[in-house]
């Protein structure tokens, strides 16, 4: 289970700050302020003097300062978005506990290199995290690309209420992320991944592009052009 999401009391909608029928997320841009997110302290029972006091200048912080000896954030929330900057940061974070690796204590002399703070997961990503194992078990597939296609279909097959759960969860992830790293921006990770191809995703006629774009272009219903044992 996602160490962060496991903290989120989304088991029910009793808190439901917004109607559950939509991915209502307008609040994040319009209402919520980066330093004073009203409702979060209640959700995560942040100690007074916890993240609420994070100053913009502390947007990134050496683990030695902000994380306890066990790598736990002062709030007690082991946020998984922090990933050691060294080596590959893509396939070894979150549930492997690697984000807790005390990379500063290993090589502390050198400049403490900013820890990589990853993007918060969106609703679909959270859904994938939760359902991936189940799909793999059902389908005997292993390749993530194939699994993700199935998950994409299943995502669309969900009811609005079912999706709303993940939208709500994602909203909280973003809010928590915002509290923990007030000055973080998605821009920070731009260009961190090296891409081999892509270049120019041009020509809309000969190259249909991704299924998503293709469906959008032709107005296809995603349900229709799928078949196979894994539905």
Partner DNA sequence: CTCCCTTTGAAGTAA
Partner DNA sequence: TTACTTCAAAGGGAG
Q: Name the site residues for DNA (rule: CB under 7 A).
A: 23, 25, 28-29, 80, 87-88, 90-91, 93-95, 118-119, 121-125, 128-129, 132, 142-145, 148-149, 151-152, 155-156, 163, 167, 170, 174, 185-187, 189-198, 200-202, 204, 210-212, 222
Cα–Cα distance for residue pair 152/123, rounded to 1 Å: 12
CA distance from start to end of the chain: 25
CB of 23 to DNA, least distance (A): 5
Question: Which of residues 22 and 65 has its CB atom nearest to DNA in the complex?
Answer: 22
Question: Which of residues 113 and 132 has its CB atom nearest to DNA in the complex?
Answer: 132
Question: Which of residues 67 and 151 has its CB atom nearest to DNA in the complex?
Answer: 151
Number of other residues whose CB lies within 10 A of the CB of residue 100: 19
Question: Which of residues 10 and 124 has its CB atom nearest to DNA in the complex?
Answer: 124
Compute CA distances 185 → 2, 3, 175, 178, whole Å: 22, 22, 13, 9
CB of 26 to DNA, least distance (A): 10
CB of 85 to DNA, least distance (A): 12
CB of 64 to DNA, least distance (A): 23
- Residue bearing tokens 């993240």: 51
In DSSP notation, 180-213 reads HSTT--GGGGTT-S--SS-S----TTT---SHHH
Strand extents, DSSP E, the chain: 82-83, 116-117
């Amino acid at each position: 289970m996602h160490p962060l999401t496991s903290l989120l009391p989304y088991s029910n909608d009793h808190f439901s700050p917004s109607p559950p029928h939509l991915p209502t997320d307008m609040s994040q841009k319009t209402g919520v302020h980066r330093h004073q997110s009203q409702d979060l302290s209640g959700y995560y029972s942040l100690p007074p003097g916890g993240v609420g006091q994070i100053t913009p200048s502390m947007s990134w912080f050496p683990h030695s300062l902000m994380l306890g000896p066990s790598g736990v954030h002062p709030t007690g929330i082991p946020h998984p978005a922090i990933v050691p900057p060294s080596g590959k940061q893509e396939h070894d974070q979150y549930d492997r506990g690697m984000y807790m690796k005390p990379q500063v204590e290993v090589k502390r002399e050198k400049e403490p290199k900013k820890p990589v703070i990853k993007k918060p997961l969106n609703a679909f990503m959270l859904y994938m995290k939760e359902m991936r194992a189940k799909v793999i078990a059902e389908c005997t597939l292993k390749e993530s690309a194939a699994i993700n296609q199935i998950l994409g279909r299943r995502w669309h097959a969900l009811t609005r209420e079912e999706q709303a759960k993940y939208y709500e969860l994602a909203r909280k992830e973003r809010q928590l992320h915002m509290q923990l790293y007030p000055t973080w921006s998605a821009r920070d990770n731009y260009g961190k991944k090296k891409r081999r191809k892509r270049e120019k995703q041009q020509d809309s006629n000969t190259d249909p592009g991704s299924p998503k774009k293709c469906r959008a272009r032709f107005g296809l219903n995603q349900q229709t052009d799928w078949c196979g044992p894994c539905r």
